[in-house]
Amino acid sequence: MPLMEHLYELRRRLFFAVLGLLLGTVLGFIWFGVQVGPIPSLGDILTRPYCAVPTEYLADISDAQGCQLLATGPFSILQIRLKAALMAGAVLSSPIWLYQLWAFVAPALYSREKKFAVTFAASAAVLFAGGAVLAYIVISEGLSVLLGMGADTAVAALDPDKYFSFLIAMLLIFGVSFELPLLLIMLNLAGAVTGAKLAKARRYAIFGLVVFAGLVVPGNDPITMLALAVALVLLYEVAVQVSRLHDRRKAKRLAAEGLGELSDDEASVLPGGAGGGVAVDPVAPPAAVADADPVAPPKRTTDS
């Protein structure tokens, strides 16, 4: 396709992706205050970690209406509902905008590349969802530690904007951090790192992951930091074992082909050379050139 047709195709795909996101956001805005059968409302789902905090740490402002946040501005509730609707819309409409992205990229890929792209995209989605679920589970424990720091001198009534910002940050940090094993496995498949090197660097990696968990967690409470650090260490070990398995399969395949493992400064075997096939005859040394008679210089002629 010419460049302009690529741009038209990109514009069309972006239009349908944004349209899907808009429809998902509208559904999320409605779902925020409506319970759909056995599924609780989006507002209840998002406030459940806060409501799981022991009541002695929270201010009693609910007026017997259940657990509620404290809005401190006239537009606080509307802004939070829009943010929650946009976040839910991105999740609900993900099949639409992911398909549009795939439909734009897929024609330029070979069948093998398509298979790898689908595998890694599906793995990335599962890992991100797993990280977000873990964050959702440990947020209530982290909030209990943070809000319990006041002992008997203070109680908490969180602002919706700050609470939802904290919640979204936790979900994103855990979700993105869970992509670590996928990144390491991709580097291994590309030949940039081996499973043996990853295993050798295990102690340094564990130290770095613990420091990373302590730096990126917004609450800096020990519960969420420990949960993220332990999860990342386990995922790192999974990446090490998968990389080792891939390296063993690669070594067996190369051995079956008669190639074996070569160092960076070692030349590979030529077809028909050592390792299989017909041997190549060496090149004969050059023959000496016989001395030739010197060529007489041309005679000079003068004009008459």
What letter represents residue 141's amino acid? E
- According to the model, what pLDDT value does residue 304 have? 46
- According to the model, what pLDDT value does residue 66 have? 59
| Intervals of the chain under pLDDT 50 | 275-276, 304
What is the reported pTM? 0.75
Determine the Cα–Cα distance for residues 44 and 172; give it in Å rounded to an integer: 20
- According to the model, what pLDDT value does residue 83 have? 85
Which one, of 164, 155, 151, lies nearest residue 60 by Cα? 155
Determine the Cα–Cα distance for residues 94 and 170; give it in Å rounded to an integer: 20
- According to the model, what pLDDT value does residue 227 have? 92
Contact partners, residue 242, CB within 8 Å, separation at least 6:
181, 185, 188, 195
